[in-house]
């Protein structure tokens, strides 16, 4: 069953305005899901991860309701019908 990504406003210019992106495929891990996401929407990759493949410092990924940091990082296994939220952190300035 598909994995759904919730896309924050600033990134929607790279998903043609879509707030939600459904992956028809069934990726096994968060890492695979992200790879599939940016095959479809190539502009997202460099905005979510650094060139060394680390999720950018002030970007939070939630697998369901849990921060990916506590679910196994990018290797987090994804169950069927998982929703992944991409949410920028609170930041000042």
Strand order in the sheet with 20-23: 20-23, 3-6, 83-88, 59-63, 66-67
* Residue closer to other proteins, measured from CB, 15 or 71: 15
Instruction: Quote the least distance from Cβ 87 to other proteins, whole Å.
Output: 11
Cα–Cα distance between 16 and 8 in angstroms, integer?
12
Question: Residue 9, Cβ neighbours under 10 Å: how many?
Answer: 8
Instruction: Quote the least distance from Cβ 25 to other proteins, whole Å.
Output: 6
Say how many residues make up the chain: 93
Which residues sit at the interface with other proteins, rule CB under 8 A? Answer: 10-11, 13-18, 21-25, 39-43, 45-48, 50-52, 54, 56-59, 88-89, 91, 93
Instruction: Quote the least distance from Cβ 10 to other proteins, whole Å.
Output: 6
* Residue closer to other proteins, measured from CB, 4 or 73: 4
């Amino acid at each position: 069953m598909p994995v759904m990504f919730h896309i924050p406003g600033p990134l929607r210019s790279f998903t043609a305005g879509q707030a939600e992106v459904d992956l028809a495929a069934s990726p096994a891990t968060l890492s695979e899901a992200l790879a599939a996401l940016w095959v479809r929407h190539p502009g997202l990759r460099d905005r979510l991860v650094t060139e060394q493949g680390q999720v950018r410092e002030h970007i939070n990924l939630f697998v369901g309701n849990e921060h990916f940091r506590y679910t196994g990082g990018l290797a987090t296994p994804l169950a069927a019908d998982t929703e992944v939220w991409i949410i920028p952190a609170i930041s000042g300035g």
